[in-house]
Amino acid sequence: MAASARSYGVAAALLVALGLTACTSGDDTTAPTGPVVQLGAPGEENRTMSPEEAAGIEQPEHTDADIAFMQMMIVHHDQAITMTEWVDERTTDRDLRLMAERMRISQEDETEFMASWLRDRGTPLQGDHLGHAAGMMPGMLTEDQLAELEAATGEDFERLFLEYMIQHHSGALQMVADLRAAGGGMEISVGRFANDVEGDQGIEIARMQQMLAALGA
């Protein structure tokens, strides 16, 4: 097999292993569980790797792009959590309040995961770049937008919250795309988290768009 084909097979095996590895919050260096299928290079057949082969797969390490992504996403999540904390006092809409509560709980849990991930790798929770980059992160609300949202009530608040949270979530999806474009997200725990952000926030965007349409906005 040519070198390029071998590289393709190992990378593909890791991707399949990522999909089959049990979702745990423990040590991400644990060998994949369950069968691991090594995808064949173009023109070659797939094959199931033996447990010994699967255990010997060298899993990708984290990169500087992974670290920056986690550090920035903590700040990004923090703003979203602040937005959700304003909901109960500014609207009586049951669906919006339930959705905001789910968002808050989910993003607080994810923030704990990201902080733990950074600490486990001896990396500070905030990088030197964050002071400059916070206002430049995709989807982040400006100070004026935050002030406008905080001052609103009733239907005005509901409309602004949905519009701004869609903006915010769309920014998170862009951050995931930027991570991958920078070659990050290959470490199993980072890749799984990025996939979760992409899936969960994509679903929430669709739901918020429906709610916004119902408001006639």
Q: What is the pTM of this model?
A: 0.74
At 22-57, the pLDDT tens digits run: 333 344 444 445 565 655 566 677 777 676 665 555
Domain with 13 in it? 3-55
Same domain (yes/no): 103, 198: yes
At 135-166, the pLDDT tens digits run: 679 999 999 999 999 999 999 999 999 999 99
pLDDT above 70 for 4:
no
At 58-67, the pLDDT tens digits run: 677 899 999 9
Same domain (yes/no): 86, 25: no
Domains identified in the chain, total number: 2
Same domain (yes/no): 85, 148: yes
Same domain (yes/no): 132, 80: yes
Same domain (yes/no): 47, 122: no
Same domain (yes/no): 72, 21: no
Same domain (yes/no): 51, 68: no
Same domain (yes/no): 32, 107: no
C-alpha 119/C-alpha 50 separation (Å) is 34
